[in-house]
């Protein structure tokens, strides 16, 4: 049974989005991408990543 993740680690977010590690950390530092710290782990909500990418989307004709 496959469970759809609701969070990504930074490494998984890089794979899923194609964004670089430094870009993700810069977005987090600029408070454009919320994150959750659980112990030493940094987690990013999939919905927050999708919202960020959707807000930066340009319409191409």
Whole-model pTM? 0.85
* Domain assignment of residue 46, yes or no: yes
| pLDDT value for 1 | 87
Total structural domains within the chain = 1
Whether 15 is covered by a domain: the verdict is yes
**Residue whose C-alpha is closest to residue 4's, from 53, 45, 57, 48:** 45
Query: Residue 38's pLDDT is what?
Result: 96
User: Which pLDDT value is given to residue 43?
Assistant: 98
Residue 17 included in any domain: yes
In-domain check, residue 61: no
Please report whether residue 60 resides in a domain.
Answer: no
* Contact predicate 42/9, CB 8 Å: yes
Domain that residue 47 falls in: 7-55
- Structural domain includes residue 47: yes
- Predicted confidence at residue 18, as pLDDT, reads 95
Digitized pLDDT (tens) for each residue of the chain, 61 residues in all: 899 999 999 999 999 999 999 999 999 999 999 999 999 999 999 999 999 999 876 655 5
């Amino acid at each position: 049974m496959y469970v759809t993740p609701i969070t990504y680690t930074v490494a998984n977010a890089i794979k899923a989005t194609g964004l670089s590690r430094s870009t993700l950390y810069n977005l987090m530092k600029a408070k454009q991408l919320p994150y959750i710290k659980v112990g030493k782990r940094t987690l990013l909500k999939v919905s927050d990543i999708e919202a960020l990418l959707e807000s930066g989307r340009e319409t191409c004709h």
